[in-house]
Amino acid sequence: MIILSGMKLEELEGLMNELKATKFRAKQIHSWIYSKSVSSIDEMTNLSKDFREKLKEIAIVCDTKIKVKQVSKDGTIKYLVEYPDGECVETVLMRFDNRANLTACVSSQVGCAVNCSFCATAKGGFRRNLTYKEIIEQVLTIQRDTGLKVTNIVFMGQGEPMLNLDNVLKALEIFNNDFQIGARRITISTSGIVPGIEKLAELNLQSTLAISLHAPVHELRKTIMPIENKYPLPDLKKALKNYIEKTGRRITIEYILIHGFNDTTPVAKELAYFLKDLKCNVNLIPYNSVVENDYKKPSGNDIMKFKYLLEHSGKKVTVRLERGADIDAACGQLRGKMQNKNSLG
Ligand code: SAH
Ligand code: SF4
């Protein structure tokens, strides 16, 4: 069976050619998939009944399922999307009340090999890469289920996008061309994979690069992020400076605040020093307790103090609102829960 979702316009035109149908049919099907986000060929009502029957013999719209859906009081929706081989990933839709933006948080891999100590995704280990079609399928799932059009995409679900960069870049192209989501509305978040950052610098895309820094000194960072041993901070910084110079773009620094570990005044000063010659905004993320460990959330007071110190050093700082706290909306939580359930039988 041919899976229509994920096919580019040229591919659909090729298929129509085989079916001896016009190019215009390809355009219609393309619009049903990416703009109107239908789930079945029967819903493509501007195609003749005969043609729909013919198409149904060889094709279906998609082969994924929504395994779990959770809706938060704040409007955040979280999906566990299941692929035909039984593997699942998480996709989250976030709405921000004051804006018309609908942001999809997508996964790039099943599991993750980077193994950060604070992350629920890391606990299940790495399973496999997602294909570009599986990546975009997550956004189509959201659009089909809600009837809404996603306007922004962040690669902040499961997995390390830079370790599956070919598929991420192909997905990006389809988001641009087929979904009509501008590159400026897409953010790629990485734990700091230097060769990936170098590749993005070369490509000079319009997308935003977000770096999960989480600690400004080697000794501290390596205790929570083993990737620090492979790509230590000086190498990372060099790659970031090069990226900023080549693209002229401002990057985003993500920084999880863990109580008593990296949220103190001396660490804030170290962070300000590390960032002083980098063109960046900072996004502070209060730690979300998702896995069994001793990490704790910082107090509201400590968050404000940390924010103040960074702002004082001239950076624009935002604190990430907790979205969907009532529905396991942090990275890797829902899938982890399902795995636990499954292993308990
Ligand atoms: N692998 C990429 C993208 C996915 S993780 C990366 O690490 O950047 C997306 C973001 O969620 C990262 O900044 C990550 O550090 C953060 N995150 C993971 N576990 C978290 C937790 N328990 N609390 C708060 N943020 C978390
Ligand atoms: Fe992987 Fe990102 Fe989780 Fe680290 S935080 S284990 S890189 S998904």
Domain boundaries, the chain: 2-60, 65-344
Catalytic (active site) residue 134: no
At 256, list the tokens: 């999880």
Identical fold for domains 2-60 and 65-344, yes or no, is: no
pLDDT, position 343: 35
pLDDT, position 341: 47
Which of 170, 175, 123 has the alpha carbon at shortest distance from 154?
175
Under CATH, domain 65-344 is a member of which superfamily?
Aldolase class I (3.20.20.70)
Q: Per-residue DSSP letters for 188-239?
A: EEES--HHHHHHHHHHT-SSEEEEE---SSHHHHHHH-THHHHS-HHHHHHH
For the chain (345 residues), the mean pLDDT of every run of 10, in chain order, is 94 96 96 96 97 96 96 92 97 81 96 94 93 97 95 96 98 95 97 98 95 98 98 98 97 96 97 97 91 86 96 94 67 57 36
- Give the C-alpha separation, 149 to 171, whole Å: 17
- Distance (angstroms) between ligand 2 centre and the Cα of 109 equals 10
Ligand index nearest the alpha carbon of residue 161: 1
Q: Nearest 5 degrees, angle CA 206-CA 244-CA 119?
A: 80
Ligand index nearest the alpha carbon of residue 106: 1
pLDDT, position 337: 58
Pocket test for ligand 2, best of 90, 121, 158 (most atoms within 8 A of CB): 121
pLDDT, position 211: 98
Which of 62, 88, 119, 331 is catalytic? The answer is 331
pLDDT, position 65: 96
pLDDT, position 345: 27
The answer to whether the CB of 160 is under 6 A from ligand 1 is yes
The answer to whether the CB of 208 is under 6 A from ligand 1 is no
Topology (CATH level 3) of domain 2-60? DNA polymerase; domain 1 (1.10.150)
pTM of the model: 0.94
Q: Which amino acid is at 139?
A: V
- Distance (angstroms) between ligand 2 centre and the Cα of 190 equals 8
Which of 90, 137, 160, 254 is catalytic? The answer is 90
Catalytic (active site) residue 90: yes
Q: Which atom of ligand 2 is nearest to the CA of 225?
A: 4
pLDDT, position 321: 76
Q: Which atom of ligand 2 is nearest to the CA of 119?
A: 3
